[in-house]
Structure 1
Amino acid sequence: MRLFTVYTLLLFFFFSSGLALQIQCYQCEEVTHDCSTPQFIVNCTVNVQDMCQKEVLVKDDGIHYRKSCASSAACLISSSGYQQFCTGKLNSVCITCCNTPLCNGLRQKKRPTSSADITLTALQLPVWSLYILILLSSALC
Protein backbone atom coordinates (compact mmCIF):
# COMPACT_ATOMS: atom_id res chain seq x y z
CA MET A 1 0.00 0.00 0.00
CA ARG A 2 2.86 2.38 0.79
CA LEU A 3 4.40 1.73 -2.60
CA PHE A 4 1.09 2.54 -4.30
CA THR A 5 0.83 5.80 -2.33
CA VAL A 6 4.40 6.76 -3.16
CA TYR A 7 3.89 5.92 -6.82
CA THR A 8 0.67 7.99 -6.96
CA LEU A 9 2.40 10.96 -5.35
CA LEU A 10 5.29 10.61 -7.75
CA LEU A 11 2.97 10.60 -10.76
CA PHE A 12 1.15 13.66 -9.42
CA PHE A 13 4.47 15.47 -8.95
CA PHE A 14 5.70 14.34 -12.35
CA PHE A 15 2.68 15.66 -14.25
CA SER A 16 2.03 18.77 -12.17
CA SER A 17 5.64 19.92 -12.39
CA GLY A 18 5.57 20.19 -16.17
CA LEU A 19 7.78 17.16 -16.73
CA ALA A 20 5.15 15.40 -18.82
CA LEU A 21 6.42 14.66 -22.28
CA GLN A 22 4.85 17.52 -24.25
CA ILE A 23 6.51 19.46 -27.00
CA GLN A 24 5.58 22.65 -28.85
CA CYS A 25 5.92 22.86 -32.62
CA TYR A 26 5.06 25.24 -35.41
CA GLN A 27 1.99 24.17 -37.39
CA CYS A 28 0.87 25.39 -40.81
CA GLU A 29 -0.46 23.89 -44.05
CA GLU A 30 1.04 24.64 -47.47
CA VAL A 31 2.04 28.23 -46.91
CA THR A 32 4.51 30.07 -49.14
CA HIS A 33 6.30 31.70 -46.22
CA ASP A 34 8.18 30.02 -43.41
CA CYS A 35 5.55 30.02 -40.66
CA SER A 36 8.02 30.29 -37.77
CA THR A 37 6.15 33.00 -35.89
CA PRO A 38 4.30 32.89 -32.55
CA GLN A 39 0.80 32.62 -34.02
CA PHE A 40 1.73 29.23 -35.54
CA ILE A 41 2.91 27.65 -32.25
CA VAL A 42 0.82 24.72 -31.02
CA ASN A 43 1.02 22.36 -28.05
CA CYS A 44 1.37 18.79 -29.27
CA THR A 45 -0.58 15.93 -27.71
CA VAL A 46 1.15 14.86 -24.49
CA ASN A 47 3.06 11.57 -24.74
CA VAL A 48 1.69 10.90 -28.25
CA GLN A 49 3.10 13.54 -30.56
CA ASP A 50 6.70 13.69 -29.44
CA MET A 51 8.31 15.22 -32.53
CA CYS A 52 8.00 18.20 -34.82
CA GLN A 53 7.80 17.62 -38.56
CA LYS A 54 8.71 19.99 -41.37
CA GLU A 55 7.98 19.47 -45.04
CA VAL A 56 9.53 21.70 -47.67
CA LEU A 57 7.99 21.37 -51.14
CA VAL A 58 9.47 23.04 -54.23
CA LYS A 59 6.67 23.86 -56.69
CA ASP A 60 6.25 25.96 -59.82
CA ASP A 61 5.14 28.98 -57.79
CA GLY A 62 7.86 28.74 -55.15
CA ILE A 63 8.66 26.97 -51.90
CA HIS A 64 5.77 25.71 -49.77
CA TYR A 65 5.96 24.71 -46.11
CA ARG A 66 3.98 22.26 -44.00
CA LYS A 67 4.77 22.05 -40.32
CA SER A 68 3.12 19.98 -37.62
CA CYS A 69 3.36 17.82 -34.53
CA ALA A 70 3.93 14.13 -35.17
CA SER A 71 4.58 10.85 -33.45
CA SER A 72 8.18 9.72 -33.77
CA ALA A 73 7.22 6.56 -35.67
CA ALA A 74 5.06 8.37 -38.24
CA CYS A 75 7.57 11.16 -38.76
CA LEU A 76 10.59 8.92 -39.17
CA ILE A 77 8.74 6.63 -41.60
CA SER A 78 7.56 9.50 -43.78
CA SER A 79 10.93 11.27 -43.75
CA SER A 80 12.79 8.13 -44.79
CA GLY A 81 10.20 7.39 -47.48
CA TYR A 82 10.70 10.79 -49.11
CA GLN A 83 14.49 10.90 -48.84
CA GLN A 84 14.93 10.10 -52.53
CA PHE A 85 12.69 13.06 -53.49
CA CYS A 86 14.66 15.60 -51.46
CA THR A 87 16.70 17.14 -54.27
CA GLY A 88 16.02 20.87 -53.86
CA LYS A 89 14.85 20.99 -57.48
CA LEU A 90 11.34 21.46 -58.88
CA ASN A 91 8.84 18.98 -57.33
CA SER A 92 11.27 18.21 -54.52
CA VAL A 93 9.83 17.11 -51.16
CA CYS A 94 12.00 17.15 -48.05
CA ILE A 95 10.63 15.94 -44.72
CA THR A 96 12.60 16.35 -41.52
CA CYS A 97 11.88 15.37 -37.93
CA CYS A 98 13.21 16.79 -34.68
CA ASN A 99 12.38 16.45 -30.99
CA THR A 100 13.12 19.73 -29.26
CA PRO A 101 10.62 22.58 -28.74
CA LEU A 102 9.98 24.63 -31.89
CA CYS A 103 12.75 22.84 -33.76
CA ASN A 104 10.75 22.84 -37.01
CA GLY A 105 11.14 26.60 -37.28
CA LEU A 106 13.89 28.61 -38.90
CA ARG A 107 17.29 26.99 -38.70
CA GLN A 108 19.13 28.09 -35.61
CA LYS A 109 22.81 28.91 -35.70
CA LYS A 110 24.73 26.24 -33.86
CA ARG A 111 26.21 27.39 -30.60
CA PRO A 112 28.35 25.49 -28.16
CA THR A 113 26.44 23.87 -25.32
CA SER A 114 27.25 24.79 -21.78
CA SER A 115 26.55 23.01 -18.53
CA ALA A 116 23.67 25.45 -17.97
CA ASP A 117 21.93 23.98 -21.05
CA ILE A 118 21.61 20.50 -19.57
CA THR A 119 17.95 19.45 -19.25
CA LEU A 120 16.08 16.22 -18.70
CA THR A 121 15.56 14.43 -21.99
CA ALA A 122 12.84 11.91 -22.78
CA LEU A 123 15.27 9.07 -22.14
CA GLN A 124 16.40 10.44 -18.79
CA LEU A 125 12.88 10.92 -17.40
CA PRO A 126 12.06 7.23 -16.74
CA VAL A 127 15.41 6.75 -14.99
CA TRP A 128 14.89 9.91 -12.98
CA SER A 129 11.37 8.90 -11.90
CA LEU A 130 12.57 5.40 -10.95
CA TYR A 131 15.34 6.94 -8.85
CA ILE A 132 12.86 9.19 -7.03
CA LEU A 133 10.50 6.24 -6.50
CA ILE A 134 13.26 4.17 -4.91
CA LEU A 135 14.31 7.05 -2.65
CA LEU A 136 10.76 7.72 -1.50
CA SER A 137 9.92 4.08 -0.91
CA SER A 138 13.09 3.52 1.13
CA ALA A 139 12.32 6.63 3.18
CA LEU A 140 8.81 5.41 4.03
CA CYS A 141 9.82 1.88 5.02
Structure 2
Amino acid sequence: MEVFTIGFTKKNAEVFFNFLKTSNVKTLIDVRLNNVSQLAGYAKRDDLRFFLRELCGAEYVHSPELAPTKDILNAYKKGEMPWQEYEDKFLNLMGQRNIEKIFNPTLLDHGCLLCSEHEPHLCHRRLVVDYLNEHSNLNLIVKHLY
Protein backbone atom coordinates (compact mmCIF):
# COMPACT_ATOMS: atom_id res chain seq x y z
CA MET A 1 0.00 0.00 0.00
CA GLU A 2 1.47 3.33 -1.05
CA VAL A 3 1.37 6.14 1.53
CA PHE A 4 2.93 9.60 1.54
CA THR A 5 4.02 12.13 4.15
CA ILE A 6 4.39 15.89 3.80
CA GLY A 7 5.16 18.94 5.90
CA PHE A 8 3.79 22.31 4.89
CA THR A 9 6.65 24.50 6.14
CA LYS A 10 9.04 25.92 3.54
CA LYS A 11 6.48 25.24 0.79
CA ASN A 12 4.17 27.73 -0.80
CA ALA A 13 0.62 26.63 -1.61
CA GLU A 14 1.45 25.92 -5.27
CA VAL A 15 4.29 23.55 -4.43
CA PHE A 16 2.35 21.89 -1.61
CA PHE A 17 -0.81 21.17 -3.61
CA ASN A 18 1.14 20.15 -6.73
CA PHE A 19 2.97 17.52 -4.64
CA LEU A 20 -0.37 16.12 -3.50
CA LYS A 21 -2.00 16.28 -6.91
CA THR A 22 0.86 14.68 -8.86
CA SER A 23 1.10 11.93 -6.23
CA ASN A 24 -2.63 11.20 -6.62
CA VAL A 25 -3.27 11.59 -2.91
CA LYS A 26 -6.84 10.55 -2.05
CA THR A 27 -6.87 11.55 1.63
CA LEU A 28 -4.76 14.01 3.56
CA ILE A 29 -4.42 12.74 7.12
CA ASP A 30 -3.61 15.65 9.41
CA VAL A 31 -1.50 14.33 12.31
CA ARG A 32 -1.04 17.71 14.02
CA LEU A 33 -2.40 18.47 17.46
CA ASN A 34 -3.28 22.03 16.45
CA ASN A 35 -4.78 22.21 12.98
CA VAL A 36 -6.13 25.78 13.21
CA SER A 37 -3.00 27.76 14.10
CA GLN A 38 -2.74 31.20 12.52
CA LEU A 39 0.85 30.31 11.60
CA ALA A 40 -0.39 27.52 9.33
CA GLY A 41 -1.54 29.84 6.53
CA TYR A 42 -3.14 27.72 3.77
CA ALA A 43 -2.78 24.61 5.99
CA LYS A 44 -5.50 25.56 8.50
CA ARG A 45 -8.21 22.90 8.80
CA ASP A 46 -11.09 24.59 6.96
CA ASP A 47 -8.95 26.16 4.23
CA LEU A 48 -7.11 22.91 3.72
CA ARG A 49 -10.35 20.94 3.41
CA PHE A 50 -11.56 23.38 0.71
CA PHE A 51 -8.28 23.52 -1.24
CA LEU A 52 -7.87 19.74 -1.18
CA ARG A 53 -11.34 19.15 -2.56
CA GLU A 54 -11.14 21.89 -5.21
CA LEU A 55 -7.51 21.51 -6.36
CA CYS A 56 -6.79 17.83 -5.80
CA GLY A 57 -10.12 16.04 -5.52
CA ALA A 58 -8.90 14.76 -2.15
CA GLU A 59 -10.48 14.42 1.28
CA TYR A 60 -9.27 15.79 4.61
CA VAL A 61 -9.18 13.86 7.89
CA HIS A 62 -7.86 15.13 11.22
CA SER A 63 -6.30 12.28 13.24
CA PRO A 64 -5.03 13.69 16.54
CA GLU A 65 -4.59 10.13 17.84
CA LEU A 66 -1.51 10.05 15.58
CA ALA A 67 -0.06 13.19 17.20
CA PRO A 68 2.19 13.47 20.24
CA THR A 69 0.80 14.80 23.49
CA LYS A 70 1.30 18.49 24.22
CA ASP A 71 3.74 17.60 27.02
CA ILE A 72 5.96 15.48 24.77
CA LEU A 73 5.87 17.97 21.90
CA ASN A 74 6.55 21.03 24.06
CA ALA A 75 9.47 19.39 25.88
CA TYR A 76 11.08 18.51 22.56
CA LYS A 77 10.45 21.94 20.97
CA LYS A 78 11.87 23.73 24.02
CA GLY A 79 15.04 21.63 23.84
CA GLU A 80 14.30 19.90 27.13
CA MET A 81 14.19 16.51 25.43
CA PRO A 82 16.59 15.17 22.78
CA TRP A 83 15.21 13.60 19.60
CA GLN A 84 15.93 10.02 20.70
CA GLU A 85 13.92 10.47 23.90
CA TYR A 86 11.11 12.15 21.96
CA GLU A 87 11.09 9.25 19.49
CA ASP A 88 11.00 6.66 22.30
CA LYS A 89 8.19 8.45 24.13
CA PHE A 90 6.17 8.93 20.95
CA LEU A 91 6.51 5.32 19.81
CA ASN A 92 5.53 4.17 23.30
CA LEU A 93 2.48 6.46 23.09
CA MET A 94 1.50 4.91 19.74
CA GLY A 95 1.69 1.50 21.41
CA GLN A 96 -0.41 2.62 24.37
CA ARG A 97 -3.01 4.01 21.99
CA ASN A 98 -2.98 0.80 19.90
CA ILE A 99 -3.07 2.85 16.72
CA GLU A 100 -2.55 -0.27 14.62
CA LYS A 101 -5.99 -1.44 15.88
CA ILE A 102 -7.93 1.83 16.09
CA PHE A 103 -6.78 3.70 12.97
CA ASN A 104 -8.71 2.99 9.76
CA PRO A 105 -6.07 1.52 7.41
CA THR A 106 -8.09 2.25 4.25
CA LEU A 107 -7.26 5.94 4.77
CA LEU A 108 -3.61 5.10 4.15
CA ASP A 109 -4.15 3.78 0.61
CA HIS A 110 -2.83 6.76 -1.36
CA GLY A 111 -3.17 8.76 1.84
CA CYS A 112 -0.71 11.38 2.97
CA LEU A 113 0.23 12.19 6.57
CA LEU A 114 0.53 15.93 7.14
CA CYS A 115 2.57 17.73 9.76
CA SER A 116 4.37 21.04 9.87
CA GLU A 117 8.01 19.89 9.75
CA HIS A 118 9.65 20.44 6.38
CA GLU A 119 11.54 17.14 6.30
CA PRO A 120 10.45 13.80 7.78
CA HIS A 121 13.72 12.85 9.50
CA LEU A 122 12.91 14.60 12.77
CA CYS A 123 9.12 14.47 12.54
CA HIS A 124 6.53 12.22 14.10
CA ARG A 125 4.77 11.58 10.77
CA ARG A 126 7.70 9.35 9.80
CA LEU A 127 7.49 7.62 13.16
CA VAL A 128 3.78 6.88 12.60
CA VAL A 129 4.39 5.06 9.32
CA ASP A 130 7.44 3.27 10.74
CA TYR A 131 5.35 2.15 13.72
CA LEU A 132 2.51 0.91 11.50
CA ASN A 133 4.93 -0.99 9.29
CA GLU A 134 6.38 -2.72 12.34
CA HIS A 135 3.13 -3.39 14.23
CA SER A 136 0.63 -4.23 11.50
CA ASN A 137 0.47 -6.31 8.35
CA LEU A 138 -0.07 -3.27 6.11
CA ASN A 139 3.30 -3.34 4.30
CA LEU A 140 3.32 0.40 3.67
CA ILE A 141 5.46 1.76 0.86
CA VAL A 142 6.29 5.23 2.13
CA LYS A 143 7.26 8.24 0.04
CA HIS A 144 8.11 11.49 1.78
CA LEU A 145 7.19 14.59 -0.25
CA TYR A 146 9.60 17.51 0.31
* TM-score, normalised with respect to structure 1: 0.21
Query: Which structure's residues are more often helix, by fraction?
Result: 2
* TM-score, normalised with respect to structure 2: 0.21
Point out the structure with max Rg over C-alpha.
Answer: 1
